[in-house]
Structure 1
Amino acid sequence: MTSPADRLQAVRARIAAAARAAGRDPATVSLLAVSKTWPAGAVRELAALGQGDFGENRAQELIGKAAELADLPLRWHFVGQLQRNKAAGVARLGAVVHSVDRMSLARALARVGTEAGRPVEVFLQVDLGGPEGELAVRGGADPADVPALADAVAAEEGVVLRGLMAVAPRGTEPGPAFARLAALAERVRRDHPGARELSAGMSADLEEAIAAGSTLVRVGTALAGVRPLPSREDESHPSHGSQQPG
């Protein structure tokens, strides 16, 4: 069994190597530790090693864990499917929301950001589909709708558009999907220069994502080893009952 320090070092080394292989500065790629199902003590241990960004995919778990770790200067991210009636609790924490895929959710977050005087930072989630004949079950907006959604979200005063987010389809090589995502991200940046970030890549495919331009990788399994609690859910979408571990 490796220690948390060893696993964190190994993930950081993978990120740095992938960035250099793509001709990029490793400092341009951030690590988001997806801490779903981890006890607060595990988050605290990684925080002591210098990890500051953590992601959750359930609103209740995020809110509870953030309260328990309120003494630490952590940056929380929400990477799961977010219901509008839970958006306020997540947004009030200052969490970055990676899964905005419809204007109704963006407006709910914007209301909280406006009331708090602190805009909510958001990513638009893109549906990259799946293998032929398989339904896309990871959530997200249709790629064809993303430019218009970006325009609408960017016009809301209570949110700040940081960029795009996606999960690679299951059962296929992730490279082509990430390439499509990168092209779409570049199109969005032309209209919204501040939306420069790309949240893509997990434990199994972070190298391919970084090669395509990812600026933030969401990693859980490679940091945690065996999950502290059993979970069949994905690092990004509990309600889709699908994927990964990351």
Structure 2
Amino acid sequence: MGAGSLGGVSRREEIAANLTAVRERIDRACEAAGRSPEVISLIVITKFHPVEDIAHLVDLGVTDIGENRDQEAGAKMAELDPAVRSQLTMHFVGQLQTNKAKSVVAYADCVQSVDRPKLAGALDRAVAARAGDAGGEASLDVLLQVDLGEGEDAGRGGIPPAELTHLAETVAGTHRLRLRGLMAVAPLGLDEEGTAAAFARLADLAQEVRTTHPEATILSAGMSGDLELAVAAGATHLRVGTAILGSRPDRR
């Protein structure tokens, strides 16, 4: 695929430099937290960026990407060269309506934004239907999205912590969904101390879930602006977009 250029630097070179800088940030954060970088998975958020960028990412060693709009994500996955797609784990990280469940399970390897029992049921049925059509077994990894905001600060998506145990039990009781952990976005408007406290709360909730669901080992938290705080809190998966691909272009 062709690459654009800016000031003599190819798009691939631009992405490579940004990717190196982010990986160095992760390395430093892990050193400060006494953790190994090997336990951190980097998910590059490719929303609004073209398929060509995804091909560059794969060529640069990226194995995980994330999208949060069903229509865009489905179109990109269909457009990707099968050889490129086969090297990727595709995470759906956006808010999801139940009527989109069938569409999403057709291309996503993991849905990180399960936030209510009704959605869990819709995804389970969609995976079962897809397995039936294919004449075989199928499953879907899912994370439970937790709303870390309180009072007026709530509302960035996710289930209230008080309802988390019930949702975990619901997902664990499905036939086709595999509960793999938790995901959250830091509430808006917090300073560094507040964000660190929010991620620490998420880590505590994750530990509680793992007491009864030991397979739920993923903790997805942290983005371009706060990944260091997420690493310090024990995040296993970081969702980084802007710091690697730059500002999102206008919607196509």
TM over 0.5: yes
Q: Which amino acid aligns with 1:62?
A: A
Query: Larger % of helix: which?
Result: 2
Match of 2:49 in 1: 38
Q: Which amino acid aligns with 2:239?
A: R
Match of 1:140 in 2: 158
Deviation string 1:190-239 (CA, Å, 9 cap, x unpaired) is 000000100000000000011101000000000112222269xxxxxxxx
8 Å Cα contact 2:153/2:188 also seen in 1: no
> How far, CA to CA, are the matches of 1:107 and 1:169 in structure 2?
27
Q: Displaced runs of 4+ in structure 1, greater than 4 A?
A: none
Deviation string 1:117-145 (CA, Å, 9 cap, x unpaired) is 21111000000015xx6342211000011
Bigger radius of gyration among the two: 2
CA RMSD of aligned residues (A): 1.6
Q: 1:155 aligns with which of 166, 170, 173?
A: 173
> How far, CA to CA, are the matches of 2:234 and 2:165 in structure 1?
19
Structure 2 gap ranges (5+) = 1-5, 7-12, 132-136
- The 5-angstrom pairing of residues 183-194 of structure 1 reads 183-194=204-215
Match of 1:101 in 2: 115
Structure 1 gap ranges (5+) = 232-246
Once the two structures are TM-superposed, the CA of residue 111 in structure 1 deviates from its matched residue by 1.2
Q: 1:166 aligns with which of 184, 188, 209?
A: 184
> How far, CA to CA, are the matches of 1:94 and 1:134 in structure 2?
32
8 Å Cα contact 2:120/2:170 also seen in 1: no
Match of 2:72 in 1: 61
Deviation string 1:58-89 (CA, Å, 9 cap, x unpaired) is 00111000011142122111110011111111
Match of 1:118 in 2: 138
> How far, CA to CA, are the matches of 1:192 and 1:119 in structure 2?
17
Q: Identity of paired residues, percent?
A: 52
Q: Which amino acid aligns with 2:76?
A: K
Match of 2:10 in 1: none
Once the two structures are TM-superposed, the CA of residue 112 in structure 1 deviates from its matched residue by 2.1
> How far, CA to CA, are the matches of 2:185 and 2:166 in structure 1?
21
SS, match of residue 99 in structure 1: strand
Once the two structures are TM-superposed, the CA of residue 47 in structure 1 deviates from its matched residue by 1.2
Q: Which amino acid aligns with 1:27?
A: E
> How far, CA to CA, are the matches of 1:16 and 1:134 in structure 2?
35
Match of 2:30 in 1: 19
Q: Matched residue pairs, number?
A: 229
